[in-house]
Amino acid sequence: MKDLMTETAADRVPIDPLAEVGACRSFVSGDPDDDRIRVQYFLRRSDKALVGEVWFGPGAEGPPGHAHGGSIAAVLDEAMGVAAWLAGYTAVAAQLTTNFRRMIALGTTAFFDTAVGEVAGRKVAMRARLLDEQGDALAEAGGLFVVLDPRRLEELARLR
């Protein structure tokens, strides 16, 4: 995974990945004016990796004055899932592991990046990390995502 702190705005193209993968709403990043979590997604020009910025507001509070661990995990989960879909893997999470390195103060804007790891049949290994403005790790996540059978995907689309 590249060094997020050396990127410039020209290195990143703003995208709406949820629209690109056919999602109509998001548990995590649906409302740009929300007081909980605000996420902006970008596609890095050099390697087409999904990267972004996330702001944790007062509605995401867990420990006093800090973001709830579930809000942090949810951001990393969504980022990994969207990155998998953008890479052509219509997959859902089967297993997630989040390592919390430091508490995140409310009002903080953090930066994330994602990477597709090993792919074996329907199994897709994903990684994501959340960094502060100095490039220090706030949280890291790994996930095992499983590609949906096309019939199951069609069934889910009909149910929506």
Task: Give me the mean pLDDT over the 122-145 stretch.
Answer: 97
For the chain, give the mean pLDDT.
Answer: 90
Closest by alpha carbon to 36, among 66, 63, 71? Answer: 71
Q: What is the pLDDT of residue 5?
A: 55
Q: Which residues contact 29 (CB under 8 A, 6 or more apart)?
A: 18, 37, 38, 39, 41, 75, 78
Please tell me the predicted confidence (pLDDT) of residue 2.
Answer: 59
Alpha-carbon gap, residue 142 to 75, rounded angstroms: 12
Question: pLDDT tier at 1 (50, 70, 90 boundaries)?
Answer: low
What is the model's pLDDT at position 63?
A: 97
**Which two three-digit tokens encode residue 11?**
């290195």
In the numeric block, which tokens belong to residue 25? 């709403």
pLDDT digits (tens, 9 = 90+) for 9-68: 778 999 988 776 666 677 787 677 889 999 999 999 988 899 999 999 999 999 999 999
Q: Domains in the chain, ordered, with CATH?
A: 4-159 (3.10.129.10)
List active site positions. Answer: 77
The b/e string for 40-50 (b: 16+ C-beta within 10 A; e otherwise) is: bbbbbeeeebb
- Reported as a single tens digit per residue, the pLDDT across 80-125 is 999 999 999 999 999 999 999 999 999 999 999 999 999 999 999 9
The identity of residue 88, as a single letter, is: G
pLDDT at 137: 97
> What's the CA gap between 49 and 70, in Å, rounded?
24
How is residue 45 written in tokens? Answer: 């020009």
